[in-house]
A and B are shown apart, each in its own frame.
Chain A
């Protein structure tokens, strides 16, 4: 053994050890793809548009429950929880756990922003995909700002994490919609992305109507906060063409339907006493389309449960109260001709040019809703000038107590009624027709105070019937401190459930 041999041995060792040629291949995890793969077969734009759609029209069970059901459906008084695990801490009691409070913000925002950014790297400014990208993120941002108020939509130059006031968010969304409407108008009649679009099968004419309808929905929302702009946006939208036919309703195919999971399969939610007392009081035939009869026999088929009831046993509550009547493959409803026609009715009430009188639009809206639910003729219903909400009488061994009626508003339109009564009547009917869009229902209650609702069965420390908003993600106070503090300033009040949103003032 001499020096030379040892050197040769050492050299051999180094040669064996330093082969790094295959490292990149070895380090690739299975079941993932790279940026380049998105260029194949138009996969990239399609995949990212679906990702945006699924945030705006969230049916995936967890997203649906956390972003829509627990908040909008419960605060909008369509549904309430039947799960005794939720009884102590929830949004109706205005003491929801941190995980619930932050979920819509934390889960949705990065998905929206990343999908939109990726999309825009693949498509041209001004393309149809660009228009759809803008359009598909708007309902999600709208939901988020209506939950929290000021929102980090990425409007502040140089700081993607900065919050903008709710007013700025709304104006940015109007601008996005206008941009989308402009592009889509030039492509009317085309079909794009048909295989991936689970709402309109890629029909751009329908998306165009949806875009205008969304603009109208938003315009009505800000009608008390900024009447001038509200009128302009609303009239533009109606003039351009909104949804007037149930065939154009925005409904998404997603198996399983989100509400089917939460109410039917999981049994976490049941009909709320408020909507049940209204519909049973009005003898509204839609009630059996909205809800299943309660499994335990009672004096009425559909039984609701008071909001914020202290449920003792879910197994019992599930039988006492009515589940939503919805199937696993039913399409999820996110905007209807009825809602949009009610918006026009309200615009007309405000004296705007909505292409019809208040009364006509009001009745047309109710008829559209009846047709949508296959509830037969609405004539008798519309002519009813005596029925009111029922007193709420709980069932035997039920949870949450009894309530005298909260409202005495009747159905039949009366042009002679006071403006306030007109508004209550209009919104009460709109609210019923909005089902199952709970977050729109919650917005109506916050915006107009209608319909009048029962006090929550368990009190909350704010003395409110319905929360005005949900606090910001508490972690923002650490990970995004300066912006969080700015957001609270923009909110114009304490970061709690009571502070009113911009459009409520």
Chain B
């Protein structure tokens, strides 16, 4: 062992503190027996029975029976998850039967917190929002995360425009990191999981298309609940990614009792939600692709190209068990077709979980195994490449679209089918049907996740828990482009193109914790001390390139390796990452009124190799305080609960992996040599830090009918590592730089109503999130300097001191005369000016987000809807600019109908005007839209058949809808749909796939 550091002393100190506070265990005298049931008389299995004031307790058996030894004056506490706890004095009785009522009292609510530690909600000093499975499985999409949108405060969820199987972008409390991921950390049953998110698009127009993400592999039916830890304090124990918040997923366990089988089917059908507006009154001239010719009505409808998407999800889940052993087994299938031909997503899930208790309940073994088989095909978000939409939208209006439905024609000399397309490849256009059917990109994934946890409880107040989880995903990725595909995409080959690689993505996580729970007199103590490690290996190998001489033989043998270019080359990536940590968490409670929580964690991370921080790692603490004011003071009768809380956390994270490695000369496939890279590196890298404060209030009124949760937070992220785009006049085009102070400040508000009037019930949840992002400091050495984070031609996200991480600047404008009027050239046309001082156009970050979820129940019927709204922020559509340039937009027809476009005092020819204003280098001020939108995001109507009709079985049948109605939107696309799940490239539309409107039904049968 090396020299102890301050961090270690801190941790050891915590241990000593824990130990010194542990009190003595009491002894008891006589046995008491009884049965615990619910209101309907069903026995409750596994209900907790505890002698109050002691740690002595037991649980009920299969028939709800219990037996416990205690003193005649003792008080027994009966508890069961989801039920209110009851304290019953023994008063010398030997038989006590208890009926537990459903819990509506937040006082005893238990939530899952970091590392899977269960905590009383009241003790928490930070905001945890819980979403039950019912809210996730009623209206399903292929990615369970998209079902969270609008249901929790402080979280922005955008669904990728990539079609079925697409990833989601989940950002909590605003973007904090300039270069690293701002996506939430996913945790399943306490263990962080590898969520490789392939949904990022970095180079808008010429980007390859995005992929799916690891978390989408989950079967929603296996989820018991999701807890959202939106702030760093909540997540501090997770370290690295915790600054971005955590999504904690608790999966289903087997239940003791009789065997139960649930069969569910969700089927939905989708169509485009928001499409641009097209014209049908002008055609193209001879020899022109653009539709600026004669006035003539046409019946071309781009919308008809989209097919009805379908998503069929089936699942069967079985639970069985007794008090010693419980088993959960489930199978799920998801078969989805997107609205664009050949976009498919198929997933098969199998899950097994077994929980066994041994040694008089002192040893608990929990084992789970998940197998996922996933196939996705032709995900397509936006851009020119692999996208049928530019050709579809811009198709010359005087030509016959029906003629190109025959997208391939037999070439008798070559004996292959050749592409049928005569309109050039500007904007990389090809026959849209060819793109969907003859350029096929697919991934086939096999993923295993094996997790085991062993808990040994030698004493009532002490347990040791060890967990280990293996996650192994093997993906075969293929890209087949048939002969006569435009040779821009075939590495120049006339015979087609094949890309083939195998990706092995492995992660192993392990932790070991000692947990102490002790209460005595006025005090309670809960402490955890542990260590963890996580090791990941990403290993990709394969080949890609044009085919050598045999058309459409998609085999590695037929790739032109001998002709090395950037297209014809081996595919190889190999990275590893190891992090190790020790951590401690102490929660001290007084009279169940005041709780103080302290945490500390030290990380050692391989990403910090070759830096001065490698050996000492980095340490970060948090402190939180929670007070239940409603127990400390007398509140009015109707005011049942009031809690205030405050916390501070400092969360560290390492630099991006691999950047500090001296192995930084990269391979250039075209020259087949390792060459210089043009990044400059600092002498040393330091870990990043996020400081975060939050305060909050939780309250319940009218016996729990009305709930209220409010959080204010502020976080500052320092010492960020990012690539500084420096002048290309030197030997480097960019340099790694560490600086910055990004502040996010905002509020999270949730109001819940849960009211019953006889048989009629109303459950309503309202969430509001507001975040203000501010760049307090970017470069200490030059406050004026900016960082451009990309965008589209002539417009980009620019980071600047005093600005936000979503600020949009335009580099184009109308050329203006000194008076500011639009200048005209000698031919009387407008002129596009390139600006060296870009113009600020607004921020893509929303000012606020609302969600309002309602659920009405009456006599087995339930009706629900979710309204969501985003306020503020701007979005940009280059799609519209190009449609205008090509004369296919409705606006271009209106302009022609009106005789032109008024500029200054005259009228300009519409074609000339749009040739400058629209297109690939537009004058951006004309294509920026308010991102504010309001929609009816989800709606469902269902019926629970009375179980007496079905001999005790349960049957639910429902109708569902997603994106039912856009109530307010001024953009020519859905502003909530995102082409990229990364930090930037938000709000940019470049022929983005339309978001989906879906209708469906679901059936759920419980046997």
Contacts and interface: CB of A to CB of B under 8 A. Distances in A.
Interface of A: 1, 3, 6-7, 9-11, 13-20, 22-24, 26-35, 37-38, 43, 47-48, 50-51, 54, 60-62, 83-86, 88-89, 95, 97-99, 101-102, 105-107, 109-111, 113-115, 117-118, 152, 154, 160-163, 255-256, 261, 265-267, 312-318, 328, 397, 399, 459, 461, 463, 471, 473-481, 483, 495
Interface in B799-846: 811, 815, 825-827, 831-832, 834-837
B289 interface: yes
B811 A483 contact: no
A424 B603 CA distance: 75
A474 B835 contact: yes
Contacts of B512: 13, 16
A13 B663 contact: no
B919 to A, nearest CB: 5
B1 A15 contact: yes
A477 B836 contact: yes
Contact of B662 (A34, A54, A102, A161): A34
A318 B487 CA distance: 15
A110 B487 contact: no
A114 B1 contact: no
B575 A459 contact: no
Interface in B677-691: 677-678
B563 to A, nearest CB: 6
Contacts of A38: 665, 674
B667 interface: yes
A7 B786 CA distance: 51
Nearest to B565: A256
A495 B837 CA distance: 14
Nearest to A59: B670
A24 B793 CA distance: 40
A359 to B, nearest CB: 44
Given A17-B580, A397-B287, A463-B826, 8 more contacts: A6-B15, A26-B578, A32-B664, A102-B728, A106-B733, A114-B731, A115-B675, A267-B425
B675 A97 contact: no
B573 interface: yes
B53 interface: no
A129 B787 CA distance: 38
Nearest to A255: B563
B592 to A, nearest CB: 26
B832 A111 contact: no
A106 B671 contact: no
B630 interface: no
A23 B608 contact: yes
5 contacts: A7-B15, A26-B606, A48-B675, A152-B729, A266-B488
A20 B615 contact: yes
B399 to A, nearest CB: 10
Select the residue from B422, B665, B732 with max chain A CB neighbours within 10 A.
Answer: B665
What's the dominant secondary structure at chain A's contact region? helix
Q: Which of A18, A37, A95 has the most CB of B within 10 A?
A: A18
Interface in B422-461: 422-427, 458-459
B492 interface: yes
Given A13-B512, A114-B678, A117-B731, A313 B288 contact: yes
B606 A23 contact: yes
A316 to B, nearest CB: 5
Contact of B573 (A31, A109, A314): A31
Interface stretch (B76-84, B528-536, B713-721, B941-949): B528-536
A10 B12 contact: yes
A314 B427 CA distance: 11
Given A27-B606, A98-B793, A459-B826, A13 B531 contact: yes
Contacts of B733: 106, 110
Which of B1, B732, B784, B921 has the most chain A CB within a 10 Å cutoff? B921
B857 interface: no
A47 B662 contact: no
B574 A30 contact: yes
B565 A27 contact: no
Contacts of B423: 313, 315
Contact of B286 (A9, A18, A162, A397): A397
Given A33-B674, A461-B825, A314 B426 contact: yes
A11 to B, nearest CB: 7
B759 interface: no
B498 interface: no
A114 B488 CA distance: 30
A88 B811 contact: no
Given A51-B676, A459-B826, A29 B531 contact: no
Interface stretch (B349-357, B653-661, B956-964): B653-661
B939 to A, nearest CB: 43
Given A265-B487, A313-B423, A26 B576 contact: yes
Chain B contact-residue range equals 35 or more
A18 B665 contact: no
A18 B98 CA distance: 51
Given A50-B673, A98-B811, A265-B487, A14 B290 contact: no
A51 B421 CA distance: 39
B1003 to A, nearest CB: 49
Nearest to A3: B19
A10 B11 contact: yes
B604 A17 contact: yes
Interface string B317-360: 00000000000000000000000000000000000000000000
A114 B732 contact: yes
A316 B566 CA distance: 29
A474 B422 CA distance: 37
B607 interface: yes
A1 B418 CA distance: 78
Given A16-B531, A106-B728, A397-B286, A314 B425 contact: yes
B525 to A, nearest CB: 14
Contacts of A312: 285, 287-290
A477 B676 contact: no
A360 to B, nearest CB: 42
A322 B675 CA distance: 37
A37 B664 CA distance: 11
A13 B678 contact: no
Of all A-B residue pairs in the complex, the 3 with the closest CB atoms, nearest first, are A30-B574, A314-B424, A85-B426
Contacts of A26: 576-578, 606, 609
Contacts of A27: 576-577, 606-607, 609-610, 657-658, 660-661
Contacts of B920: 85, 88-89, 97
Contact of B667 (A28, A31, A114, A154): A31
A455 B732 CA distance: 40
B953 interface: no
A50 B676 CA distance: 11
A256 B492 contact: yes
A480 B729 CA distance: 8
Given A51-B676, A463-B826, A109 B835 contact: no
Nearest to B728: A106
Contacts of A256: 492, 563, 565
B581 interface: yes
A18 B728 contact: no
B661 A13 contact: no
Contact of A83 (B18, B424, B602): B424
A277 B458 CA distance: 97
A313 B609 contact: no
Contact of A7 (B12, B488, B915): B12
A50 B577 CA distance: 34
Nearest to A329: B563
B793 A28 contact: no
Contacts of A473: 728
B260 interface: no
A47 to B, nearest CB: 5
Given A32-B667, A33-B665, A51-B676, A459 B825 contact: yes
Contacts of A475: 725, 727-728, 788
A461 B831 contact: yes
